[in-house]
């Protein structure tokens, strides 16, 4: 197919496909989760966020692209969960901003909207960390946008977008030490790759089956044995809420979310906060959630509130999936592998700059597997 324009119906189908494709692999994404806290729920959180956007347009037909993307963004705002989920919702909020005034969009307009997603997502994070979903999305948008030509199709754009998503994802361990130490790529970035793969399939007319179950994570029993009367709170609480600003408490029009964000940074970490009209979305990791709730209630009342002890979320993850990578040295343009027998000649090769010296043994005939292991190291 050679699709040159995107309308509301196509965008809704792409969002639905993105959620469905992520749902199939969200346990893989969960197992990659080591940053900012290894709580194993990134895949669940991103799926719930995407699904909320998809459900928001499920019962609507013949909407313009502007209307559809706005409803998707609103649904994701209300349903966003977790650090990666909130960032994901801001990516789509930026895309919706980019589509304002567009009933349909050509490739150039899509590229512009995707670039707005970069600005919006970075703007929502108090301290952006490279090597995360932020980087992966930003790199992919920059590459795909640079490849547009006069006759570009949406299929070509998304192929370029996916190509760089995967490359950037593979680079995340070089940007974030905790990923390199664990031998994994970023979980949020991996989740976005699955989303984009599903969106790309929609351009070919493929409609993936949408799961009815809302959340695997919601059905899991809480293992209270991991936090006993003798435990010490180490990770704090993952605290999320939607706050409706109230005119009986403040002048809503004059509310400055930057003041709130500064306060959140003073008492917590992993702060992602933004305002959408009279609603403020907050995600923060903190040791004292009560203080934050009391502070925020000065400005309004809570629409939703979720608070979880991250000691219960934290678990040792066994990584066995398609995105697994091994800890590695920084990339070099060339690597040198030699074969030698005897410690003296091995030391000589090493001193001359050989990266790996394979022990040739008496026959000086190492196996193909020896070479493969050397190349991968």
CA nearest 189: which of 135, 143, 144? 135
Collapsing DSSP states into helix, strand and coil, what is residue 170? Answer: helix
Helix (H, G, I), strand (E, B) or coil at 119: helix
Indicate if 363 and 242 belong to the same structural domain.
no
Residue 219 burial class via C-beta count within 10 angstroms: exposed 0-12, middle 13-18, buried 19 and up: exposed
93 plus 173 within the same structural domain = yes
Question: What number is the average pLDDT over the span 272-301?
Answer: 92
Report if residue 216 sits inside a domain: no
Q: What is the mean pLDDT of the chain?
A: 84
Q: Where among 210, 227, 257 does a domain terminate?
A: 210
Residue 328 lies in a domain: no
365 and 276 in a common domain: no
Indicate whether 75 pLDDT > 70: yes
Of 28-32, 93-97, 111-115, the least confident: 28-32
Cα 86 to Cα 101: distance, rounded to the nearest angstrom? 25
Count of structural domains within the chain: 3
Structural domain including 356 reads 337-376
In tens, the pLDDT along 191-222 reads 999 999 999 999 999 998 876 544 444 445 55
- Sequence-distant (6+) residues with CB within 8 A of 2 are 153, 155
Instruction: Single out the residue of 194, 189, 215, 174 nearest to residue 136, CA to CA.
Output: 189
Q: State the CATH number of the domain containing residue 126.
A: 1.25.40.340
Q: Judging by beta carbons within 10 Å of its beta carbon (0-12, 13-18, 19+), is residue 360 exposed, middle or buried?
A: middle
Q: For residue 45, which of 33, 54, 56 has the smallest C-alpha distance?
A: 33
3-state SS, residue 66:
helix
Q: How does pLDDT run across 6-28, given as a tens digit for each residue?
A: 999 999 999 999 999 999 998 89
Q: Measure the CA–CA gap between 299 and 255, rounded to whole angstroms.
A: 8
Provide mean pLDDT across the span 158-182: 93
| Nearest Cα residue to 257 out of 238, 276, 270 | 276
Do 56 and 189 share a structural domain? yes
Rounded to two decimals, the pTM is 0.73
Within this chain, do residues 181 and 248 fall inside the same structural domain, yes or no? no
The residues that bridge with 309 in the sheet, in sequence order, are 237
């Amino acid at each position: 197919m050679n699709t040159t324009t995107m309308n509301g119906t196509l965008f809704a189908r792409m969002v639905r496909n993105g959620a469905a494709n992520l749902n199939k692999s969200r346990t893989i994404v969960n197992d990659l989760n080591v940053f900012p806290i290894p709580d194993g729920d990134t895949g669940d959180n991103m799926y719930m966020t995407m699904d909320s956007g998809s459900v928001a347009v499920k019962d609507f037909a013949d909407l313009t692209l502007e209307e559809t993307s706005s409803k998707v963004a609103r649904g994701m705002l209300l349903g966003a969960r977790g650090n990666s989920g909130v960032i994901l919702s801001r990516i789509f909020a930026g895309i919706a901003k980019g589509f304002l005034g567009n009933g349909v969009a050509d490739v150039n307009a899509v590229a512009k909207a995707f670039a707005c997603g970069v600005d919006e997502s970075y703007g929502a994070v108090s301290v952006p960390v490279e090597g995360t979903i932020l980087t992966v999305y930003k790199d992919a948008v920059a590459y795909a946008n640079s490849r547009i030509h006069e006759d570009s199709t949406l299929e070509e754009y998304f192929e370029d977008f996916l190509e760089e998503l995967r490359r950037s994802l593979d680079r995340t361990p070089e940007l974030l030490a905790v990923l390199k130490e664990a031998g994994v790529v970023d979980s949020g970035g991996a989740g976005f790759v699955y989303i984009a793969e599903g969106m790309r399939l929609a351009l070919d007319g493929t409609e993936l089956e949408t799961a009815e179950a809302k959340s695997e994570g919601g059905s899991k029993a809480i293992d209270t044995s991991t936090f006993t009367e003798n435990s010490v709170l180490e990770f704090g609480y993952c605290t999320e809420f939607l706050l409706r600003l109230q005119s009986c408490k403040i002048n809503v029009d004059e509310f400055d979310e930057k003041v709130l964000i500064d306060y959140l940074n003073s008492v917590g970490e992993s702060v992602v906060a933004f305002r959408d009209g009279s609603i403020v979305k907050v995600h923060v990791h903190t040791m004292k959630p009560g203080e934050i709730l009391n502070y925020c209630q000065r400005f309004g009342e809570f629409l939703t509130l979720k608070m979880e002890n991250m000691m219960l979320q934290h678990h040792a993850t066994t990584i066995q999936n398609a995105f697994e990578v091994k800890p590695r040295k920084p990339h070099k343009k060339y690597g040198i592998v030699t074969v030698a027998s005897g410690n003296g000649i091995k030391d000589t090769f090493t001193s001359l700059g050989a990266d790996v010296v394979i022990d040739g043994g008496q026959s000086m005939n190492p196996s193909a597997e020896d070479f493969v292991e050397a190349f991968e190291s």
